[in-house]
């Protein structure tokens, strides 16, 4: 019988933040991500950028049952061999390097991985793909980020491929999403498949890695929608991963058991 909550690591941004009389650099994450993990029965652990992950991601992945790559700033185009567009701003290369290393290693370990917005783009880059750096210039509209800094009025539908991981996680093939992004997938990473497209313009909005336990990227923000089942699907897969690892005597569950008895 499974016991305890599956541990879900979620990567944070680096940003300047103010609280009380203080203004400092901070490892930052919108609380809606934490709340979504907790509602789904997971234990949320925030993971700030750490340069050591580039050489050894196992030191943190050993502690986890699942990984979420959260939204945030644009990815440095140098990560996918491109020059920056004038609208590509506020990149944080140390975050990019840290999360790319964790994403690649997590996939190698078959750890459940969910990428949200920027996180979907990061999965694509981790698999060798590229990004479209400013969609309004290419598509001629602002429908994917109607009001900067707000999800109000951001709803639009995405068509998910029947039988795909994305459709199974969402629980439907026509899924209403909350969107806030100005970049998107260009060339698709090796081994990935597009399983969701926007009904507005056929922009890829869900990608996954067939053959892996759970590698899913969604271009929208399920954590901002309490009706969404996407985060809960990741947490449930992490629970199954944890239980299977416990049965084998390895993984995060076995590590925590060993630490507790030491």
Supply φ then ψ for residue 219, to 5 degrees: -85, -5
- Per residue, the 3-state secondary structure of 34-74, as one string, reads HHHHHHCCCEEEEECCCHHHHCCCHHHHCCCCEEEECCCCC
Among residues 208, 223, 236, 237, which one is catalytic?
A: 223
The answer to whether residue 221 is catalytic is yes
Q: Which residues pair with 13 in a beta bridge?
A: 28
Supply φ then ψ for residue 45, to 5 degrees: -130, 120
Among residues 11, 99, 117, 175, which one is catalytic?
A: 117
The answer to whether residue 223 is catalytic is yes
The answer to whether residue 137 is catalytic is no
**What is the bridge-based pairing of β-strands 131-132 and 43-47?**
unpaired
d(CA 214, CA 161): 16
Supply φ then ψ for residue 31, to 5 degrees: -65, -20
Among residues 175, 181, 221, 237, which one is catalytic?
A: 221
d(CA 167, CA 253): 29
- Provide DSSP, 84-127: PPTT-----HHHHHHHHHHHHHHHHHT--EEEETHHHHHHHHHT
Residues marked as catalytic: 117, 221, 223
């Amino acid at each position: 019988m499974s016991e305890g909550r599956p541990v879900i690591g979620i990567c944070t941004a680096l940003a300047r933040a103010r609280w009380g009389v203080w203004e400092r650099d901070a490892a930052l994450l919108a609380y809606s991500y934490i709340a979504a993990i907790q509602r789904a029965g997971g234990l949320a652990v925030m993971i700030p950028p750490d340069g050591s992950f580039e050489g050894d991601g196992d030191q943190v992945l050993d502690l986890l049952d699942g990984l979420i790559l959260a939204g945030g700033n644009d990815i440095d185009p140098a990560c996918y061999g491109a020059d920056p567009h004038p609208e590509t701003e506020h990149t944080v290369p140390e975050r990019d390097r840290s999360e790319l290393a964790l994403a690649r290693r997590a996939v190698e370990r078959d750890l459940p991985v969910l990428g949200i917005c920027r996180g979907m783009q990061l999965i694509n880059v981790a698999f060798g793909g590229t990004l479209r750096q400013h969609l309004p210039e290419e598509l001629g509209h602002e429908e994917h980020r109607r009001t900067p800094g707000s999800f109000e009025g951001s709803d639009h539908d995405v068509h998910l491929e029947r039988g795909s991981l994305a459709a199974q996680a969402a629980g439907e093939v026509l899924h209403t999403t909350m969107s806030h992004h100005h970049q998107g997938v260009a060339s698709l990473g090796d081994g990935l498949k597009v399983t969701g497209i926007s009904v507005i313009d056929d922009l890829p909005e869900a990608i996954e890695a067939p053959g892996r336990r759970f590698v899913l990227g969604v271009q929208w923000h399920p954590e901002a929608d309490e009706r969404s089942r996407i985060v809960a699907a990741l947490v449930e897969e992490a629970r199954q991963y944890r239980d299977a690892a416990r049965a084998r005597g390895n993984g995060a569950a076995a590590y925590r058991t060993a630490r507790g008895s030491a």
